Amino acid sequence: MPVLAIVGGQWGDEGKGKVVDQLAETADVVVRFSGGDNAGHTVINHLGEFKLHLVPAGIFSSRVLCVIGNGVVINPAVLKQEIEGLNRSGVDTSNLVISDRAHLVMPYHLLLDELEEKSRAGKALGTTKRGIGPAFADKTNRLGIRACDLLDKAALGERLAMVLESKNTLFTSVYGAPPVSYEQIYSEYCAYADFLAPFIKDTVVLLGQAVAKKQMVILEGAQGALLDPDFGTYPYGTSSSPLTAGGALGAGIAPSRIDKLLGIFKVYCTRVGNGPMPTELMDETGDAIRDIAHEFGTTTGRPRRIGWFDAVAARFSCFINGLTSVALTRLDVFDTMPALKICTSYDLNGQRIDYFPASVADLEKCQPVYEELPGWDKPITHVRNFADLPIEAQRYVRRIEELIGCDVSMACCGPSREQVIQLKPVI
């Protein structure tokens, strides 16, 4: 059985939760490997509709070991609430484990997120203000507090006191804000420690055992490739790598162990937050797609920016992720659209280019060059075989496949688990 990485190919919200939920039926382990509670997944299945923020989407299959990997930053308050909410809905969470190496989001990270966004004035990044960026910055700065620190309250207290010395200098001297209280944070986090301790394990050992037993492991990505700190639209992106390479690091599995790499793409583009988006639609077509598809953030409720499918960005994403196949989601959203566009190249300063530029200033100037394809003007939500799709829908999928240079293994035509057309095996 393989190790399968599942990642977002665009700017996140591609429908990873649904695909992981579906593939988790045959998996033994699902590991969430990056981001924090800024990235939410919506899963609709036989148990109801769930908005997950930190818990892996494999949680609905009780035989699946669900791991929150070392690459995730965990806000214990959010995780506790999420676990309790799942339990109230009858979902068993005894199969959940948390990497002892995962870093924690602390109350001062949320404060810093707010203060830093404010100080950026007109150049705000549009973060979700959940402290995720500051938590990852502390990880890199060697000022982080990790899940394993919750297992030793004396050591937690010492580390917190040391970190707060520098944070409180920052709050009072740089931002003119009041200092945060050691006692309050320490007692709050001791209570989280009591709740979370049974879940905290050395997950590298558990994954090593699963790989040795040739069990099926899914590495579940959050967000999407175009938000990657190295390859995304920097600085308008996220703080941990949503790429397949980030999957190896954030789960604790060597890259050589990953057998299959599946990228999830919507048949159009969406983006939350600021930053360039070459195919963005600022017109009624964009509004129509947003309305039909209910494009509002799972975690934030913010309206998502909408654009046509960007094959230049998608080709780049396939390459940097090394994808072995692609799942296209939301084909049904186009059921009533008379004509569809795909961006095949960009016009940058009068020159035709077919690569995704590093510079945000260049990306802002890129004008999409479109190819137009006819729509199908029929509902497809009931279709389960590719050959039963209207010919226009088949051509649309095949054209994307051609332009991005990667096989399409799945096409989704509705939000529920069974609304999937399998074109090729994923694994």
Q: Which residues bind ligand GDP (CB under 6 A)?
A: 8, 13-18, 40-42, 44, 298, 329-330, 332-333, 412-415
Task: Look up 310 and say whether it is catalytic.
Answer: no
Concatenated DSSP letters of 363-412: HHHPEEEEEEEE---S--TT--SGGGS-HHHHHHHHHHHHHHTS-EEEEE
For ligand GDP, give the closer residue by CB, 202 or 392. 392
Compute how many other C-beta atoms are within 10 angstroms of the C-beta atom of residue 243. Answer: 29
Peptide bond preceding 374 in cis form (omega within 30 of 0):
no
The tokens for 110 are 């949320």
For ligand GDP, give the closer residue by CB, 160 or 413. 413
- The one-letter code for the residue type at 410 is M
The DSSP element (H or E) to which 189 belongs, if any, is: helix 182-196
Q: How far apart are CA 244 and CA 100, in angstroms?
A: 22
Minimum gap (Å) between residue 42 Cβ and ligand GDP? 4
The tokens for 25 are 């039926």
Which residues have C-beta within 8 Å of that of residue 45, sequence separation ≥ 6? 21, 60, 416, 417
For ligand GDP, give the closer residue by CB, 102 or 227. 227
Cα–Cα distances (Å) from 282 to 236, 279, 286, 289, 421, in that order, read 19, 10, 6, 11, 31
CA-wise closest residue to 280 among 379, 396, 193, 370: 370
Task: Look up 41 and say whether it is catalytic.
Answer: yes
Catalytic hit among 21, 37, 41, 109: 41
Residue 174 DSSP class: I
For ligand GDP, give the closer residue by CB, 39 or 251. 39
For ligand GDP, give the closer residue by CB, 13 or 310. 13
Cα angle 275-38-210, degrees, rounded to a multiple of 5: 120
For ligand GDP, give the closer residue by CB, 219 or 413. 413
* Length of the chain, in residues: 427
Q: How far apart are CA 392 and CA 399, in angstroms?
A: 10
Q: Which residues are catalytic?
A: 13, 41
